Chains A and B, each alone.
Chain A
Amino acid sequence: MIYSLYIINKAGGLIYQRDFAESLNKLTSNEYLVLAGTFHGVHAITSKISPVRNATSSGLEVLEADSFKLHCFQTLTGTKFLIIAEPTHGNIDLLLRRTYDIYSDYVMKNPFYTPEMPIKSELFDTNLAKLIKQVSS
C-alpha cells in the first residue's frame, strides 16, 4: 500500500502533500512543512558526506523503518518527490517516475501554476489518484 506523497520544491518548501491511506496519523499543516524542511536539510547533508573519494552522492534515496519506507526522487531541477509506502511494497522507483510524468504534464504545463508554489491543480489530483489506484490494485 502507498501511504503518502510529498513534493518539496528546490528551496525546501512543501508544495504538495497527500495521504492515500485512511489509517495514517494526521499532522497539522505546520508540522508537514517542518517535516519537509527537515528532510530537505538531511538530504542536503547526505549528498555532501559521501565517504567515497571523488564521487558525488545523490543524497538520501531510501529510508526504511519497521512500519514504513520512504523513497526520494530528486529531479534535475531540484524538486524532490517523496513516497511513503508499506515496507513490502515493490517498484516505488517506477511509481516516482510516473508521478514525475504527471507532475510535468498537469502542473508544469498548466498556465495557472506559478513555479515553486503550492500545487492546486484539479487534473493533477485526478490523474495522481488514478495512478495510485492502478498501483494498489
Chain B
Amino acid sequence: MSQNSRISSVLSSNETRLIKRVSIVERNLNKTKGAEVGLGAFAFLFSEMLQYAQKRVHGIQDLETKLNDFGYRVGTRLLELIVWRDKNSKRETRVLGILYFIHTTVWKTLFGKQADTLEKSTENENEYMISDNDPLISKYISVPKELSELNCNSFLAGIVEAILDGAQFPSRVTAHSLPIDGFPLRTTIFIQLDKEILQREEQLK
C-alpha cells in the first residue's frame, strides 16, 4: 500500500491527472468502462503463469489440469462479480439459461465480445460446446510441436467450470483446438454436465 501511494505521489508531480488514481483494491467494482486490463499485460502475466506451471508438472495432461485449476479460482470470483454488477440478474436454473449466460455475458466481461457458437452435442444429451474463433487468451501463444496436444485455453475451461459449479451445474469442462477454414486458432470449450442435472432438468419441465 505505502509503495503504491508513494509511486502515485511521485507520478502526480509530473502529471496532475494521476492524483485521482486509486489502487486497484479501492476502485469501484461496478465501474467497467475504462477499467480494462491491457492485453499485453495479461499476455505477459499468463506467459509467466504457464512457465511456472510447466516447471511443476509431468506431462501435458497434468499441465492442462493445472491451468484448469488456475482458471477455476478466477471463475468462482468472476461469477460473483458479474452477478453483483448486473442489477437485474436472476439465478439461472436451466441448463440452456446458464450456458447462454456464459456464451454472452461471461465472454463479454472477459473478452469484450460474445463467443462465436454454442452447440449441443449430437451424440450425448449432457454435452455442450462453446466455440471461440479467435481466442484472446492464446492470441500470442505458439505451442511447440512436441506439446501440440496442449491447449492453453484450459485456463478458460477452468473459468467456465467454476461458473457452472458455482451456479449448481457441476460438470467437467475441457478445451480443444478444432481449427476450421479461415480460423486456424479456433478453440472449443467442451462441457460435460453431470447426469443428475439432466434429471433435475426433467423435473423442472
- The interface of chain A, by Cβ under 8 A from chain B, is 105-106, 109-112, 120-124
Q: Is there contact, CB below 8 Å, between B144 and A123? A: no
Report A-chain residues with C-beta under 8 Å of the C-beta of B140. 105-106, 109-110, 123
Size of interface on B: residues with Cβ below 8 Å to A: 16
Q: How far is the CA of A122 from the CA of B46 in the complex (A)?
A: 19
| In contact, A124 and B44 (Cβ under 8 angstroms) | no
Indicate if the CB atoms of A124 and B142 lie closer than 8 Å. Answer: yes
| Chain B residues close to A by CB (< 8 Å) | 40, 43-44, 46-48, 50-51, 54, 140-144, 147, 152
Residues on the B chain within 8 Å of A121, using CB = 142
Q: Is the CB of B44 within 8 A of A112?
A: no
Docked CA distance A123–B143 (Å): 9
What's the Cα separation between A109 and B139 when bound, in Å? 9
| Assembled-state Cα–Cα distance A112/B43 (Å) | 12
Q: Given the complex, which residues of B lie within 8 Å of A111, measured CB to CB?
A: 46-48, 50-51, 54, 141, 152
Which residues of A sit under 8 angstroms from B40, Cβ to Cβ? 109
What residues of chain A lie closer than 8 Å to B152, measured between beta carbons?
111
The CB with the most chain A CB atoms within 10 A, among B44, B141, B143, is that of: B141
Looking at the assembled complex, report how far the CB atom of B104 sits from the nearest CB atom of chain A, in whole angstroms. 28
Q: If A111-B51, A112-B147 touch, does A123 touch B142 (CB 8 Å cutoff)?
A: yes
- For the complex with contacts A106-B142, A110-B140, A124-B142, 4 further pairs of A-B residues with Cβ separation under 8 Å are A110-B141, A112-B143, A120-B142, A121-B142
Question: Inside 8 A of B143's CB, which chain A residues have their CB?
Answer: 112
> In the complex, which of the residues B40, B50, B142, B147 has the most CB atoms of chain A within 10 Å of its own CB atom?
B142
Contacts of B54 in A (CB 8 A): 111
Minimum distance in angstroms from A102 CB to a CB of chain B: 10
Q: Could you say which residues of chain A place their CB within 8 Å of the CB of B141?
A: 109-112, 123
Expressed in whole angstroms, the Cα–Cα distance for A109 and B142 within the complex equals: 10
Q: Which of B48, B50, B51, B142 contacts A122 (CB 8 A)?
A: B142
Alpha-carbon separation in the docked complex, A106 to B143 (Å)? 11
8 closest A-B pairs by CB: A109-B140, A111-B50, A111-B47, A121-B142, A109-B43, A122-B142, A123-B142, A112-B144
Which residues of A lie under 8 Å from residue B50 when comparing CB positions?
111
Q: Is the CB of B144 within 8 A of A120?
A: yes
**Closest residue on chain A to residue B46 by CB atoms:** A111
What residues of chain A lie closer than 8 Å to B51, measured between beta carbons? 111
Closest to B52 in A: A111
Distance between B103 CB and nearest chain A CB, rounded to angstroms: 26
The CA of A105 and the CA of B43, in the complex, are separated in Å by 9
Residue of A105, A110, A111, A122 ringed by the most chain B CB atoms within 10 A: A111
Residues of chain A contacted by B43 (CB below 8 angstroms): 109
Enumerate chain A residues within 8 angstroms of B44, measured Cβ to Cβ. 109
Chain A min CB distance to B41 (Å): 10
Residues of chain B lying within 8 A (CB to CB) of residue A112: 141-144, 147
